[in-house]
Amino acid sequence: MKKHNFSAGPCILPQEVLKKSAEAVIDFNGLGLSLIEISHRSKDFVDVMEKARSLVKELLNLPDGYSVLFLQGGASLEFLMTPYNLLKEGGKAAYIDTGVWAAKAVKEAKLLGDIEVIASSKDKVYNYIPKNYTIPTNVDYVHCTSNNTIYGTQIKEFPKTDSLLVCDMSSDIFSRVLDFSKFDLIYAGAQKNMGPAGTTLVVVKDEILGKTGRTIPAMLDYQSHIKADSMFNTPAVFPVYVSMLTLEWIKGLGGIQAIEKLNDAKAELLYNEIDRNPHFKGFAKNEDRSLMNVTFNLTNEADKEAFDKLWNAAGISGIKGHRSVGGYRASIYNAMPIESVKILVDAMQQLEKQFS
């Protein structure tokens, strides 16, 4: 049976990307060698790295003056690299707390300096995005998390600030049209919407670096990686290659503008059923609902056994909600076909028929 994978991460990938990457593991570029055993300094892989970085700039429509890096350590390492590279000695940064990962970013940043949480939705189990908060004028940067996988919330309007703007876009990068030039630093773990776990995308404005007055360990210094063209240490060859293939796939569809229309259609289909069907209720506030992670609960927990049987029988996988929210979470990342969403909606409608 074909499985419909709604897992929050690692993400679902396009079938053509899976096939090409599988072939490359056996024989890459007709070399008679596997992608994962060739030198990362070889022309064949250097071309992959350069193409991946070029596609990022093209798809995000970035102006000159930005560097694109493929690093390691996930977004979790960026929680520390961000303050190391941007927080001045004796300086201060502002953070918006919208979920578990934002809170972890705050915790790491506090190891290096004065961090102020200027807004939080923790009081309502992070089921909304804070609004109408005040951003201090004396901060080195403002940090936000664009999409919150656990709670199914997404920022629709980003902070307006004269300070540097930093965003963790791990779970919705390349999913919607934004003016990415408004951000000074973007980072994103590949495994949510771009490729397999093992590499982290970083997009940074060159002119903001080297101004902290602190000594930065070489591996934590963005400038080290920029000077070495993302090869300061051995890069994650396979994840970078798969990410490159995924970026090519997005471009082939018509870019982010085209993928956003598909994502809107999937989200609308599923949210409409949640709102229509009396057996379900959404977790996140309507105005803050994520296009990537749809969180919902049963209105009657007594229906759980029946619904679980229905979605399992339909070949659905990975929709159990996070333990802090309960219920269900359907992650509908870029590569999720709308046909799979229709299968889930059908299971929800079958539950309604059973108890009507």
Of 221, 253, 285, at which residue does a domain stop? 253
Of 236, 253, 270, at which residue does a domain stop? 253
What does the pLDDT read at residue 236? Answer: 96
C-beta neighbour count of 77 within 10 angstroms: 18
Q: Is residue 271 part of a domain?
A: yes
Q: Place 356 in a pLDDT band, splitting at 50, 70 and 90.
A: confident
Q: What CATH number should be reported for the domain holding residue 279? A: 3.90.1150.10
Q: What CATH number should be reported for the domain holding residue 87? A: 3.40.640.10
- SS3 assignment, position 265: helix
What does the pLDDT read at residue 1? Answer: 62
239, 291: one domain: no
Tens digits of residue pLDDT in 173-230:
999 999 999 999 999 999 999 999 999 999 999 999 999 999 999 999 999 999 999 9
Tens digits of residue pLDDT in 21-48:
999 999 999 999 999 999 998 999 999 9
How would you class 102 by CB atoms within 10 Å of its CB: exposed for 0-12, middle for 13-18, buried for 19 or more?
buried
234, 286: one domain: no
215, 119: one domain: yes
Q: Examine the pLDDT at 119 and tell me if it is beyond 70.
A: yes
Q: Is residue 70 part of a domain?
A: yes
Rounded distance between C-alpha atoms, residue 44 and residue 105, angstroms: 36
Rounded distance between C-alpha atoms, residue 99 and residue 129, angstroms: 9
Q: Is residue 270 part of a domain?
A: yes
232, 325: one domain: no
264, 300: one domain: yes
Provide the domain count of the chain: 2
What does the pLDDT read at residue 302? Answer: 95
pTM: 0.96
Rounded distance between C-alpha atoms, residue 163 and residue 309, angstroms: 51
Tens digits of residue pLDDT in 42-81:
999 999 999 999 999 999 999 999 999 999 999 999 999 9
C-beta neighbour count of 46 within 10 angstroms: 14
∠ at Cα 288 (285, 292), nearest 5°? 110
Peptide bond preceding 10 in cis form (omega within 30 of 0): yes
235, 171: one domain: yes
**Which residue carries 């990457």 as its tokens?**
21
Range of the domain at 291: 255-354
Tens digits of residue pLDDT in 285-328:
999 999 999 999 999 999 999 999 999 999 999 999 998 899 99
**Which residue carries 């996070």 as its tokens?**
322
76, 161: one domain: yes
Which residues are designated catalytic? 101, 168, 192
What's the distance, CA 250 to chain centroid?
A: 15
Q: Is residue 340 part of a domain?
A: yes
